[in-house]
C-alpha cells in the first residue's frame, strides 16, 4: 500500500512509534484500550458470530462488528505503538481466520440467505479489518495467511456478483438504501488489488464504479457533475454514502483517474457546505443527510441525530483527502469534528446505564440529553449488546493521534496541537520535535526542535483572528486559515499563542427549512460551547454580545473548559464535548441559543 501513497499523496500519517502522545490524547487512548480494545472476551464474542449464520435470524449486521473494531484498533496501535494491544489483535486475527469455510466465506449469513440485506456490508468489514491489520502486521507468515484468506473470501464474492451469467448485480445484493451499503465494498476491493496485484479485484472495482453506487442513480457521476446535493440523492443514508466515496477515493488513487478524484473532492465540499454542523457531524434527521446545515437549528424531538458512525466516517474521509491533497481545509474540518462531536460521544462519566457502552451513538444540539439510544444495536449473546457506533468509534480515537503531526516530502506538518514527541525520517535525515500544550483547554503551544534542519509547516486555525508565532522569541508572520512556513534547526524553540476569545457563530445558510428563530452558537478556540442543565437553568438562552466573561475553575461538572458570563442569565458555558455526559434529563444541553 505504502508505495502507492508515496506516489499519490502530499501528506503522510505517522507509522507506529513515530509519534508518542501524552496527556490529553493519551487519556483517550487509554480509555478505549482499557474499556474495549484489551477485552479479549469481546473479541472472542465478535469472532463467534462467524462460526454460525448469526445474522440469518434478523437480516442483521453482526458481521460488521469485528472488522470495524479491528480497523479502529489498528489505527490506535499505529498512534500508540502499544505492544499489548498488538498481541491481542494478533490473537483475534488468528481466531477469525479459523472461521473461514471451505468455499472461502468468512460470513454471518447462510448460503440460503447470502447476498441479501447486510451480508455484503458485513463481508466488506471482514476485508477491511484484515487489510488494516495487514498494514501493521509484523509477521511475514501471518501476512501470507491473511492474504490467502482475503483472496478466497473476496474471490467468492467476485465469482457470484457482477455482470456474468447467474451473477447478482452488486446493488441488488441488498434491498436497503438502493444498494449503497453493498457498493461500499469498493474500498477493500481496491486495497486488495494493491496488496495482491491480482487484476481481478481491480476489474471488480471497475465494475462497482460503473454501477454508480446505487440502483436508482449514479451518485459518482452526480458528485462529479455537482448535480444536486447529496441530501437530494435517491437514498441519503449518510454513513453508507460516505463509505462509497472513501472507496472511490482509493480507486482514483490506484487508477490515477482524476475525474473520480474530483468527484470525491466535490462530494466532500458539498457535505461540508450543506451538512456539516457546528459540532462537526451531520444528518439531523435520524442517520440521513437532510441539509443539516439548516436542520441543525431546529429542535429535534427524538434527539436521534448525528450518528457517531457519520462523525467517524466524515473524519476518515477528511483524513484521506488531507493526505491526498495536503489542503489545510480538511485539517480545519477534522479539528472541529474531533474536539466536539467525537470527544462528545466518549462516555467518560458512566457506562453501566447503557449496558457498558463506552460510546454514545447520537449527538444532540438543542435542549436534549445524550444517551438517546444505541445505534445499530444487536444482541450477540445473553446481555451482550453491541452497536455500529460502539464498533466504529475507536477508529476516530486512533485518528485523533494520527493527523495532528504529519510529514510531507520535505517538512513536518503540524495540523493540530497535542502534547507529544514526534520523530520522522525526511529526505533520508532524522527530524525530531517535542510539543507541549494543554490544547484545547489552553491556547499556548510550545514546540522544541530536538534535532534536524527542516522546513516546518504550522497550521494557523481559521478561528484564530490574532495569533502570535515566535521563533526563538522573534515574531513570524502568519495568517489565519493557512500554514505558516518556518525554517527550523536543532535547538530552536517555537511558541504559538492562539486566539481563544469567545466568538459568536452565526449559521451561514438559512434554506427552505430555515426557521425564523435567530440562533447563534459560541466557541472558544476549537471548542464549541454549550449550556448544561447541571450548571445552568436557562439552557436555551444566552447573549450574543459576549464581552464580559471569565474562566471558571472548579466547576462541579468535569469539563475541558468553562466560562462564567456576566449576562442577564449569568450563563455558565462549558465545552460541548463535556456537556450532557450523565445521559439523563439532569444534563440536558444546548449549543444553539436564542437571544
Handedness of CA 21, 27, 30, 31 (dihedral sign): negative
Q: Which is nearer to Zn ion, 309 or 445 (CB)?
A: 309
Position 180 contacts Zn ion (CB under 5 A) = no
In b/e form, how buried is each residue of 181-199, taking b as 16+ CB within 10 angstroms?
bbbbbbbbbbbbbbbbebe
Q: Which residue number, 182 or 198, has a Cβ lying nearer to Zn ion? A: 182
DSSP characters for 314-350? Answer: HHHHHHHHHHHH--HHHHHHHHHIIIIIIHHTB--S-
Query: Could you give the string, one character per residue 99-118, with x where binding to Zn ion holds by CB under 5 A and - elsewhere?
Result: --------------------
Taking the complex as a whole, the smallest distance from the CB of residue 101 to Zn ion amounts, in Å, to 28
Which of 415, 180, 408, 223 has the alpha carbon at shortest distance from 313?
180
In 3D space, the residue among 358, 448, 442, 449 whose CA is nearest the CA of residue 72 turns out to be: 358
Nearer to Zn ion, 42 or 304 (CB): 304
Residue from 270, 278, 388, 574 touching Zn ion (CB under 5 A): that is 388
Q: What is the closest distance, in whole angstroms, from the C-beta atom of residue 377 to Zn ion in the complex? A: 9
Q: Which is nearer to Zn ion, 265 or 374 (CB)?
A: 374
CB neighbourhood size of 511 (10 A): 10
Q: Which three cell numbers stand for residue 429?
A: 535525515
Backbone angle region of 374, left / alpha / beta, with phi > 0 → left and psi within -120 to 50 → alpha: beta
Q: CB under 5 A: which stretch of 197-205, 215-223, 389-397, 573-581 binds Zn ion?
A: 389-397
Give the binding range for Zn ion (CB under 5 A) out of 252-260, 298-306, 309-317, 533-541.
Answer: 309-317
Can the peptide bond before residue 159 be classed as cis, meaning omega within 30 degrees of 0?
A: no
Shortest CB 529 distance to Zn ion, Å: 26
> Which residues make beta-bridge pairs with 432?
423, 451
Comparing CB distances to Zn ion, the nearer of 375 and 396 is 375
- Stretch near Zn ion under the rule CB under 5 A, chosen from 91-99, 334-342, 371-379, 417-425: 371-379
Overall size of the chain counted in residues: 595
**Beta partners for 21?**
420
> Per CB under 5 A, does 364 bind Zn ion?
no
241 interacts with Zn ion by CB under 5 A:
no
Residue in the structure block whose three cell numbers are 455558565? 572
Does 375 interact with Zn ion (rule: CB under 5 A)? yes
Smallest separation, CB 389 to Zn ion (Å): 4
Decide: is 309 part of the binding site for Zn ion (CB under 5 A). yes
User: Is the separation of the CB atoms in 53 and 116 below 8 Å?
Assistant: no
528 binds Zn ion (CB under 5 A): no
Report the C-alpha gap between 328 and 408 in whole angstroms. Answer: 13
Is position 389 an interface residue for Zn ion (rule: CB under 5 A)? yes
**Site residue total, Zn ion (CB under 5 A):** 6
Cβ 361 to Zn ion shortest distance, Å: 6
- The kind and range of the H/E element at 504 are strand 503-505
Using CA atoms, how far residue 36 sits from 29, 259, 346, in Å, is 11, 40, 12
Is the Cβ of residue 270 or residue 388 nearer to Zn ion in the bound state? 388
* Window of 33-41, 79-87, 385-393, 516-524 that interacts with Zn ion by CB under 5 A: 385-393
Question: Which of 64/211 has CB closer to Zn ion?
Answer: 64
Nearest distance from residue 523's CB to Zn ion, in Å?
Answer: 26
CA distances from 482 to 28, 36, 403, 411 (A): 28, 37, 16, 15
Q: Locate 277 and state its grid cell.
A: 454542523
Task: Determine the interface stretch with Zn ion among 299-307, 422-430, 449-457, 536-544 (rule: CB under 5 A).
Answer: 299-307
φ/ψ of 404, rounded to 5, equals -60, -40
Sites of contact with Zn ion (CB under 5 A): 307, 309, 375-376, 388-389
Amino acid at each position: 500500500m505504502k508505495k502507492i501513497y508515496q506516489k499519490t499523496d502530499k501528506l503522510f500519517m505517522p507509522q507506529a512509534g513515530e509519534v508518542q502522545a501524552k496527556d490529553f490524547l493519551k487519556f483517550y487512548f487509554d480509555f478505549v484500550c482499557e474499556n474495549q480494545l484489551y477485552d479479549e472476551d469481546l473479541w472472542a464474542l465478535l469472532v463467534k458470530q462467524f462460526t454460525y449464520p448469526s445474522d440469518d435470524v434478523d437480516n442483521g449486521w453482526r458481521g460488521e462488528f469485528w472488522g470495524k473494531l479491528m480497523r479502529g484498533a489498528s489505527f490506535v496501535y499505529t498512534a500508540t505503538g502499544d505492544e499489548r494491544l498488538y498481541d491481542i489483535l494478533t490473537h483475534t486475527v488468528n481466531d477469525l481466520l479459523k472461521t473461514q469455510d471451505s468455499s472461502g466465506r468468512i460470513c454471518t449469513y447462510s448460503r440460503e440467505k447470502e447476498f441479501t440485506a447486510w451480508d455484503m456490508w458485513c463481508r466488506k468489514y471482514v476485508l477491511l479489518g484484515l487489510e488494516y491489520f495487514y498494514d501493521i502486521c509484523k509477521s511475514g507468515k501471518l501476512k501470507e495467511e491473511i492474504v490467502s484468506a482475503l483472496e478466497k473470501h473476496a474471490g467468492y464474492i467476485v465469482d457470484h456478483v457482477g455482470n456474468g451469467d447467474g451473477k447478482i448485480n452488486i446493488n441488488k445484493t441488498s434491498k436497503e438504501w438502493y444498494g449503497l451499503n453493498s457498493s461500499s465494498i469498493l474500498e477493500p476491493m481496491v486495497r486488495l488489488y494493491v496488496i495482491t496485484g491480482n487484476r481481478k479485484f481491480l476489474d471488480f472495482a471497475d465494475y462497482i464504479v460503473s454501477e454508480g453506487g446505487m440502483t436508482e442513480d449514479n451518485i459518482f457521476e452526480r458528485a462529479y457533475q455537482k448535480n444536486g446535493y447529496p441530501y437530494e440523492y435517491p437514498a441519503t443514508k449518510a454513513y453508507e454514502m460516505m463509505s462509497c466515496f472513501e472507496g472511490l477515493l482509493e480507486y482514483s488513487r490506484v487508477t490515477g483517474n482524476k475525474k473520480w478524484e474530483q468527484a470525491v473532492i466535490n462530494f466532500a465540499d458539498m457535505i461540508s457546505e450543506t451538512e456539516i454542523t457546528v459540532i462537526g457531524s451531520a444528518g439531523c434527521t435520524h442517520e440521513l443527510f437532510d441539509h443539516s446545515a439548516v436542520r441543525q437549528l431546529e429542535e429535534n424531538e427524538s434527539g436521534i441525530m448525528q450518528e457517531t458512525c457519520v462523525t467517524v466516517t466524515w473524519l476518515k474521509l477528511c483524513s484521506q483527502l488531507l493526505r491526498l491533497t495536503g489542503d489545510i481545509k480538511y485539517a480545519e474540518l477534522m479539528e472541529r469534528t474531533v474536539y466536539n462531536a467525537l470527544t462528545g460521544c466518549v462516555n467518560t462519566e458512566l457506562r453501566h446505564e447503557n449496558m457498558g457502552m463506552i460510546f454514545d451513538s447520537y449527538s444532540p444540539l438543542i435542549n436534549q440529553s445524550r444517551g438517546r439510544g444505541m445505534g445499530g444495536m444487536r444482541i450477540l449473546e445473553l446481555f451482550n449488546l453491541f452497536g455500529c457506533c460502539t464498533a466504529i468509534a475507536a477508529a476516530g480515537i486512533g485518528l485523533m493521534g494520527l493527523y495532528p503531526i504529519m510529514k510531507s516530502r520535505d517538512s513536518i506538518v503540524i495540523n493540530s496541537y497535542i502534547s507529544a514527541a514526534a520523530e520522522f525520517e525526511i529526505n533520508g535525515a532524522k527530524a525530531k520535535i517535542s510539543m507541549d500544550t494543554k490544547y484545547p483547554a489552553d491556547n499556548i503551544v510550545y514546540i522544541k526542535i530536538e534535532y534536524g534542519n527542516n522546513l516546518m509547516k504550522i497550521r494557523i486555525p481559521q478561528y484564530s483572528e490574532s495569533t502570535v508565532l515566535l521563533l526563538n522569541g522573534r515574531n513570524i508572520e502568519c495568517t489565519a486559515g493557512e500554514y505558516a512556513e518556518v525554517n527550523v534547526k536543532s535547538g530552536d524553540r517555537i511558541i504559538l499563542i492562539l486566539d481563544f476569545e469567545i466568538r459568536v457563530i452565526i449559521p451561514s445558510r438559512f434554506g427552505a427549512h430555515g426557521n425564523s428563530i435567530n440562533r447563534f452558537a459560541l466557541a472558544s478556540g476549537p471548542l464549541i460551547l454549550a449550556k448544561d442543565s447541571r450548571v445552568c437553568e436557562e439552557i436555551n438562552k444566552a447573549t450574543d454580545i459576549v464581552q464580559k466573561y471569565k474562566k471558571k475553575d472548579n466547576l462541579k461538572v468535569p469539563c475541558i473548559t468553562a466560562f462564567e458570563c456576566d449576562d442577564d442569565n449569568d450563563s455558565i458555558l462549558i465545552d460541548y464535548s463535556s456537556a450532557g455526559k450523565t445521559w439523563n434529563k439532569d444534563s440536558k444541553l444546548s449549543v444553539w441559543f436564542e437571544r
